[in-house]
């Protein structure tokens, strides 16, 4: 066992990498079949692959908790080096079909390099990852195909974006329907019932007190259910901050025109019964006032800690331009 800075005792057969935005935390499981859970953002794919190889050799399997860009960005590179990709069934099937909405990449304007899914996962499946067995737990809400991974012997729970030590995952009511927040709340309840010893979240540190983390997450998720407008605002703030992170900010005079043509902002404006133009202005104004975004050298930047992304890393095709998959 080794101790994480949170005080959690982690088995020696796993390696935990807490990463700043725009990457998700990464869990490496060395062994006879080295596996990686989530692969970060496309702008840091080389870093992800090099780190994994240095700690475990060639990766055999990448398991995605869900298909957002900060979780699948290293998939293409790792797959080109021999790794198989596993993902939740609804998202796996959409990627196989090459649906234009895959990874919500174009809708969110978050680039993802093309990849295929080799293993479709559903509730209750058991995977041998590294030196241990993990059970797939379907936890829709943040995305329809979101999943958690449960290691019963050590009572470890990989929770993806369902919760962190300070937050819960945003929900997309416009795309996933008015019950998305209630679905996310139910998934949190299912995970809490497992009573994990250690929660491994996709963002931020490992919570020191899992029971307290779930109690706080359930309260936060209930607020999203009770306040649909607040849930819409919450998602808009998260998406906009991410856009600023991966672009090293956006020039101040280009921010509102950029927002006006985003599908997610148009949908949020409809749900909030306002115009995209009015919502864009209010979003920028309120986030500047709160300190969530800052003005520096004529550009708006996200205030949260994040790693820089090289502009050329964003030049990958949206899923509507991905080549069709070969029949298996």
Q: Tokens standing for 17?
A: 């990498």
The C-alpha R_g of the chain, in whole angstroms, comes to 19
Report the phi/psi class of residue 214: left, alpha or beta, with left for phi > 0 and alpha for psi in -120 to 50: alpha
d(CA 65, CA 212): 23
**CA nearest neighbour of 29 among 14, 12, 50, 51:** 14
pTM over 0.95: yes
Backbone angles phi, psi at 188, to 5 degrees: -60, -40
Nearest to 294 by CA among 283, 303, 286: 303
Q: How far apart are CA 40 and CA 60, in angstroms?
A: 17
Are the C-beta atoms of 187 and 56 separated by less than 8 Å? no
Burial of 240 (0-12, 13-18, 19+ CB in 10 A): buried
With b meaning 16 or more CB within 10 Å and e meaning fewer, what string describes 257-275?
A: ebbeebebbbbbbebbeee
Per-residue confidence in pLDDT tens, the chain, 328 aa: 676 766 678 999 999 999 999 999 999 999 999 999 999 999 999 999 999 999 999 999 999 999 999 999 999 999 999 999 999 999 999 999 999 999 999 999 999 999 999 999 999 999 999 999 999 999 999 999 999 999 999 999 999 999 999 999 999 999 999 999 999 999 999 999 999 999 999 999 999 999 999 999 999 999 999 999 999 999 999 999 999 999 999 999 999 999 999 999 999 999 999 999 999 999 999 999 999 999 999 999 999 999 999 999 999 999 999 999 864 4
- Residue where the block lists tokens 């099937």: 93
């Amino acid at each position: 066992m080794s101790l994480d800075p949170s005080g959690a005792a982690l088995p020696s057969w796993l390696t935990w990498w807490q990463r700043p935005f725009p990457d998700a935390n990464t869990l490496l499981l060395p062994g006879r079949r080295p596996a990686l859970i989530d692969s970060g953002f496309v702008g840091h794919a080389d870093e992800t692959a090099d780190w994994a190889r240095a700690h475990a050799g060639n990766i055999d399997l990448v398991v995605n908790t869900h298909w957002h860009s900060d979780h699948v960005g290293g998939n293409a590179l790792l797959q080109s080096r021999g790794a198989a990709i596993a993902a939740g069934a609804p998202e796996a099937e959409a990627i196989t079909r090459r649906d234009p909405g895959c990874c919500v990449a174009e809708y969110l304007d978050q680039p993802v390099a093309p990849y295929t899914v080799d293993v479709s996962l559903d509730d209750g499946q058991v995977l041998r990852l590294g030196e241990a067995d993990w059970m797939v737990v379907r936890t829709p809400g943040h995305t329809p195909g979101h999943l958690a991974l449960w290691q019963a012997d050590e009572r470890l729970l990989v929770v993806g974006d369902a919760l962190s030590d300070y937050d819960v995952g945003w929900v997309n009511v416009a795309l996933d329907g008015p019950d998305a927040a209630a679905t996310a709340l139910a998934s949190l309840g299912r995970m809490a019932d497992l009573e994990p010893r250690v929660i491994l979240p996709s963002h931020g540190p490992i919570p020191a007190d899992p029971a307290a983390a779930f109690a706080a997450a359930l309260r936060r998720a209930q607020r999203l259910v009770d306040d649909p407008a607040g849930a819409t605002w919450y998602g808009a703030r998260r998406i906009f901050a991410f856009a600023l992170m991966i672009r090293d900010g956006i020039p101040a005079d280009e921010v509102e025109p950029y927002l006006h043509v985003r599908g997610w902002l148009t949908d949020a404006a409809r749900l909030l019964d306002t115009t995209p133009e009015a919502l864009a202005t209010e979003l920028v104004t309120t986030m500047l006032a709160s300190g969530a975004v800052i003005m520096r050298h004529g550009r708006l930047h996200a205030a949260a800690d994040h790693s820089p992304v090289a502009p050329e890393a964003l030049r990958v095709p949206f899923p509507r331009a991905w080549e069709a998959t070969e029949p298996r």
